[in-house]
Structure 1
Amino acid sequence: MTEPLKQQLFTGERALFKARDLDIIHSTFADGESPLKESANITLTHSYFKWKYPMWYSRNLKLRDCTLYDMARAGIWYTSDISMTDCIIEAPKTFRRTTGIILDNVSLPNAEETLWHCRDIKMKKVHAKGNYFAMNCENVEISDFELIGNYSFDGARNVVIENARMLSKDSFWNAENVVVRNSFISGEYIGWNSKNVKFVNCIIESLQGFCYMENVVLEDCTLINTNLAFEYSTVDATVNSVIDSIKNPIAGKITAEEIREIIFDDPERSDRSDTEINIIRR
């Protein structure tokens, strides 16, 4: 790398267009779109982005203690191999069609429409608030995650989440190959139209959750305030609590401490023999 750029103020459109092999420290990217467009092999430390589209079509970026302010929106699109540590991303719509993302101790207080159509993502100690988080993402590993925002992980594929707290209505719709462990999820209509979704040792609250799902598995989970669950789903559920009600499961096995109401009211599915229901009182 060349001599570090320290305490610089970059202004104007494409201020460092196609920059290569730079170490940027204590610098600010002020007014001017696309300052690092088409850049590669850039390290940024204690630096700040204040305008739109800062890192498009870039490769191999490493950011530490950096901030993307609100107007740095749509900031990282069509980029590959980017890591961000101890950063704040205030801007919405960050990460679109980006591959190879590592986020460690990152705060996203305005994460509307963030992480769309991205692949190969690792996140640890990430706090996000915003709707439609991680839509259509693939190959995602997440731990120590907090999310406040509805419609998360819609259409996601190959996702593993551990130690999460999610306040998220309609999460995991249209998803495939998802495992969630040791987590708390509160939201309506969880998982509709999804395939191969597994929850292990989770606490879940959901109105009419787990419906229209193929191969939904709940292993040692607690369901609170959950009713009309599992409609038109194939299910294998071991629940360490009461379930308020289940409705029209297609097939599988449901074991719980108590099920307060079991509803089979579809006249076209009068054969209930494919669904085994067990009550185990502790």
Structure 2
Amino acid sequence: MELVKQAYLKGERALFKSHDLKVEDSIFADGESPLKESDHIDISGSIFKWKYPLWYCNHINVENSTLLETARSGIWYTHHINIKDSVIDAPKTFRRGTHISLENVNMVNAQETLWKCSDINLYNVVAKGDYFGMNSENIEIDGLNLSGNYCFDGGKNIIVRNSKLVSKDAFWNCENVTVYDSVIIGEYLAWNTKNITFVNCTIESLQGLCYIEGLKMVNCKLIN
């Protein structure tokens, strides 16, 4: 793989359509879409400062890196991307992507994040923002701490483990959801949803669990 190290990259599409590239300890400064249409890229220790850094990409690995707030709408139409030990401080990240894996990721500003995506794995993720995971499907989660309303609206085929969701209107209009060993706090939980199961969960919801077809609760606590 070609190596780009300690580079200061600026200008629109700085590394456009790159392939088989390793980027280390570099800064993507002002300039839109620096890695648009790239594939097989390994990124570590780097900072993204501007919009649309990873659009229409394939087979991307990111470690120990940061997307600043200005790197908004950062990863759209991208497939097979793994992000680990990183901070995403930008809204509207991930749109219409597939095969997305996040591990030890802090999403400081997760407003409208993970929309219309599929085949998602989240492990030890912290996120803050409304409308997280809207209309996405085939999601497996282990260790999500989320603060933000309306999460997973319209989602399908979702498994959640060992998580805490502080979210009004969580799991609305969903299909096939199973939640294990988790805490959910928020009004109007799971309205208009089909096939949702809670196992060993603690739920605080003033007017939750209405208009559901196929509700199952096993060893749960409804504390309000």
**What is the aligned partner in structure 1 of residue 9 from structure 2?**
10
Aligned to 1:97: 96
Q: Which has the higher contact order (CA 8 A, sep 6+)?
A: 2
Answering whether residue 71 of structure 2 is matched by residue 72 of structure 1, we say yes
Q: What residue identity is the alignment partner of 2:143?
A: D
Structure 1 spans left out of the alignment, 5+ residues: 226-282
Distance in 2, matches of 1:98 and 1:159, equals 16
Q: Residue 101 of structure 1: SS of its match in structure 2?
A: strand
Runs of 4+ in 1 over 2 A off after TM superposition: none
Which residue is equivalent to 2:153?
154
| Alpha-carbon distance, 1:212 to partner | 0.5
| SS of residue matched to 1:106 | strand
User: Counterpart amino acid of 1:8?
Assistant: A
Indicate yes or no: 2:53 matched with 1:54.
Answer: yes
Distance 1:76 1:214 in 2: 35
How far does residue 167 in structure 1 lie from its aligned partner after superposition?
Answer: 0.4
In the superposition, the TM-score normalised over structure 1's length comes to 0.79
What aligned pairs does 1:1-282 form with structure 2 within 5 A after superposition? 1-2=1-2, 4-225=3-224
Cα distance in structure 2, aligned partners of 1:132 and 1:100: 20
Write the distance in 1 (CA, Å) between the matches of 2:19 and 2:180: 41
1:27, distance to aligned residue in structure 2 (A) = 0.2
What is the CA distance between 1:144 and its match in structure 2?
A: 1.0
**Alignment TM-score, normalising by the size of structure 2:** 0.99
> What's the CA shift for 1:149?
0.3
For structure 2, the residue ranges without an aligned partner over 5 or more in a row are none
How far the C-alpha of 1:208 sits from its partner, in A, is: 1.0
CA distance in 2 between partners of 1:109 and 1:115 (Å):
14
Q: Give the number of aligned pairs.
A: 224
Percentage of identical aligned residues: 55
Provide the aligned C-alpha RMSD in A: 0.4
Instruction: Give per-residue Cα distances to partners, 1:70-89, cap 9 Å, x unaligned.
Output: 00000000000000000100
